[in-house]
Amino acid sequence: MSRILSIQRLIAMLIKEFIQMRRDRITFAMMLGVPLLQLVLFGYAINNDPRGLPAALVSLTNDPYSRAVVSALENSQYFKFTVENASPSEARRLLRKGEVTFVVTLPSDFAKQAEAGTPNALIEADATDPAASGAAVASAPAIIEKAVASVKQNNPKLKQDLLRTSTTIHRKYNPEGITQFNIVPGLLGVILQLTLVMMTSIALTRETERGTMENLLAMPASPFEIMCGKVLPYIAVGGVQVCVVLVAGRLLFNIPFEGGMTLLLSSILVFVLSLVLLGYFISTIAKTQMQAMQMTFFFFLPSLLLSGFMFPYAGMPVWAQTLGEIFPLTHFLRVVRAILLKGAEWNEVSSSVYALMICVAVLLVMALKRFKPTLD
Amino acid sequence: MNTIDVRGLTKRFGDKLVVSNVSLSVKSGEIVGFLGPNGSGKTTSIRMMCGLLKPDEGQGQVLGYDLIRDRLHIKSQVGYMTQKFSFYEDLTIEENLSFVARLYNLKPIARHTKETLEKLGLYSRRNQLAGQLSGGWKQRLALAACTMHSPRLLLLDEPTAGVDPKARRDFWDEIHRLAADGMTVLVSTHYMDEAERCHRITYISYGKLLADGSLKDVIAGAGLHTYTLSGPNIESFIPQLQEEDGVQQIAPFGNALHVTSTNHRALKRALKPLEEHSDIVIEQSPTSLEDVFIKFMSDSTDNMQ
């Protein structure tokens, strides 16, 4: 018998490992579930050249040229006019709220200018995420000029000269298209989510695994006291992280701080609350720290992909967007980017903050319901 | 009123019946030994009595509080020492004690902590991590921590497993001191010497109360007769004795065999042939508690089988 490798001993080890793997159902489910989840999310939901981005149309004219331009933009699949006939001020508000990525304005003299060879459309793009709007913006002038040219062909009396580029493009909120402006505020959310959910998810499982839970429950501490005691320290940890990321974002990356600090910090607090409660909820379900970690990652991965952090939210199919709505990170990214980059006010981010508050309330109730003050 | 009065306690985990119909009474100031075979639900019964588990069936009161409705009241007046050390190993001795003092709202916290440390004799080591303590010290710390709030009832779940004899004796001295001060103690154990230190013994096997009373009463009640056989190579007679109907238990103890039966006449008949061996000494001896328990265990069917 060999000292280094005995098939018999190796088989003994293998059998034991497989038995243990099979007994730990959650790990087993993760091993099968995670690749499948990744495949579906990456495969179907993620699009680096996003199409169908929401756009608002401010059309101050109605003529063959403008109609041709609108349908050409829609046919390009980059633009999807979710709001037509918007007033200029309304369109700008939608852009700031993030409900549309573009505002396309066709001025009243558009037909005249088109016939003169200089179609003067204005495209304002939300450039906070340069990746989302880049391709659409780049292709827009050519699409417009081609549409105008095809209308002019029907009228041989007009001069069919080559059009020079005359479409005006405003990249708003991040005119230089600096990726960091979009990523760093997003990273704030991602960093908070990763650390806080992970740390709080082992809050109860650590007690259970070390056997201290039995003692803790035998002493007169109420479920609410235990929850607050477990969760509050991590809110403080979150506070430190927020300071570090914001200061570094300012000093290292020159992130603009357009909006109000109070609104920013109170929105962050709501987000942090939702994260620690989420982690605590996980820890009421997981039986071991290992399971808690796995559940955290099971949650972390899709939230990273579907929240709009890594890939443009607007470019995802509707089902993926709907799924993305359940993650606090999705709502937080909207809030933090709107406040920091666009200087959004309360009424412009309120719907996302309310969504975060709903997350907090639901998680609070679920965590308290799941927590058992007995060992049953 | 009794400190503990519970009737018909039943607990299931899924399909498995863990505690079936346990009834128990403990008078104030008593030290009661709670005995029973492995898996007979001693730990589960104790957990039900201190509010850690909700009984599926049954009712009763602990310290005058209803077992089902007043669990929080029970928790605040009961001290429960778990089988496994369940204080925080990554906290120092002092930090553990002040944590407990705060949870029970003992004021002033610093004084309660200091007094407990001094009583324990751990004041000089108060900054040591609890995880670094030896088994015996951990157990003393646990006892000190769970009696810090002066509970009226102390529930101990196999408290001295893995502890050396000296520490065990000290531990029991402390239990008797606490009982003398009026604390009621219920202690589950497998150790005969521990059972012998209790005022009263309760033996429960799968829901049935098989014995209840003082050490003497329980031994007498079992109706066992015991002989001690000693001599060279005495183990070689075990197979022969096992054949005999009159012999119910044979247990080797060093160079001797304890042979036990409920039927005295049949036992004497069975031992007759051995008298021919001149080097074997046969003498009647007092029945030990262990013999009694082993009889109980072989009488009742183990629900693990």
Of the pLDDT bands very low, low, confident and very high (cuts 50, 70, 90), residue B184 is: very high
CA end-to-end span of chain B, whole Å? 39
**Beta carbons within 10 angstroms of residue B81's beta carbon:** 22
The SS3 assignment for A374 reads coil
The pLDDT score that the predictor gives to residue A162 is 58
Query: Could you tell me which chain A residue has the CA closest to the CA of B68?
Result: A374
Cis peptide bond prior to A107, omega within 30° of 0: no
What's the per-residue H, E or C state across A28-84?
A: HHHHHHHHHHHHHHHHHHCCCCCCCEEEEEEECCCCHHHHHHHHHHHHCCCEEEEEC
Tell whether the torsion through CA atoms of A190, A191, A192 and A198 is positive or negative.
positive
Set of chain A residues whose Cβ sits within 8 Å of the Cβ of B76 = 220
Contact between B88 and A376 using a beta-carbon 8 Å cutoff: no
pLDDT above 50 for B159: yes
Among the partner-chain residues B52, B84, B103, the one whose CB lies closest to the CB of A211 is: B84
CB-based contact A367:A203 (threshold 8 Å): no
Of the pLDDT bands very low, low, confident and very high (cuts 50, 70, 90), residue A129 is: confident
For the whole model, what pTM was predicted? 0.84
Of the pLDDT bands very low, low, confident and very high (cuts 50, 70, 90), residue B301 is: low
Set of chain A residues whose Cβ sits within 8 Å of the Cβ of B101 = none
The pLDDT score that the predictor gives to residue B305 is 39
Among the partner-chain residues B53, B75, B89, the one whose CB lies closest to the CB of A376 is: B53
Query: Could you tell me which chain B residue has the CA closest to the CA of A208?
Result: B86
**Beta carbons within 10 angstroms of residue A61's beta carbon:** 15
Among the partner-chain residues B52, B82, B104, the one whose CB lies closest to the CB of A220 is: B104
Per-chain mean pLDDT for chain A: 87
Q: Looking at this protein, which amino acid is placed at residue A329?
A: L
Q: Which residue has the tokens 């809110």?
A: A235
pLDDT above 70 for A32: yes
Q: Which chain B residues have any C-beta within 8 angstroms of a chain A C-beta? A: 47, 50-54, 71-72, 75-76, 78, 80, 82, 84-89, 100, 103-104
The SS3 assignment for B107 reads coil
Least confident stretch, A15-19, A23-27, A261-265: A23-27
Contact between B103 and A214 using a beta-carbon 8 Å cutoff: no
Contact between B86 and A375 using a beta-carbon 8 Å cutoff: no
Alpha carbons B234 and A236: distance in angstroms, whole number: 72
Least confident stretch, A145-159, A167-181, A252-266, B256-270: A145-159
Of the pLDDT bands very low, low, confident and very high (cuts 50, 70, 90), residue B303 is: very low
Contact between B104 and A218 using a beta-carbon 8 Å cutoff: no
Interface with chain B: mutation pick from A214, A224, A226, highest number of B CBs within 10 Å: A214
ipTM of the complex model = 0.85
The SS3 assignment for A316 reads coil
Highest average pLDDT, of A56-65, A170-179, A319-328, comes from A319-328
Of the pLDDT bands very low, low, confident and very high (cuts 50, 70, 90), residue A164 is: low
pLDDT above 90 for B97: yes
